[in-house]
Amino acid sequence: SIDESSKEEIDETGEAAIDS
């Protein structure tokens, strides 16, 4: 899902990957 506050893609496990 996309965290609109940080504009990064959050993995279901909680790991964050920058949405390029």
Can you state the percent helix, strand and coil of the chain, rounding each to 5? 0, 40, 60
Write the CB contacts of 6 (distance below 8 Å, at least 6 apart in sequence).
Answer: 16
Taking every pair of Cα atoms in the chain, the longest distance, rounded to a whole number of angstroms, is: 19
* Residues 1-20, mean pLDDT to the nearest whole number: 61
* Residues 7-15, mean pLDDT to the nearest whole number: 63
4 pLDDT higher than 60: yes
pLDDT at position 18: 62
Question: If pLDDT is split at 50, 70 and 90, which confidence band does 17 have?
Answer: low
20 pLDDT higher than 60: no
15 pLDDT higher than 60: yes
Write the CB contacts of 8 (distance below 8 Å, at least 6 apart in sequence).
Answer: 2, 16, 17, 18, 19
12 pLDDT higher than 60: yes
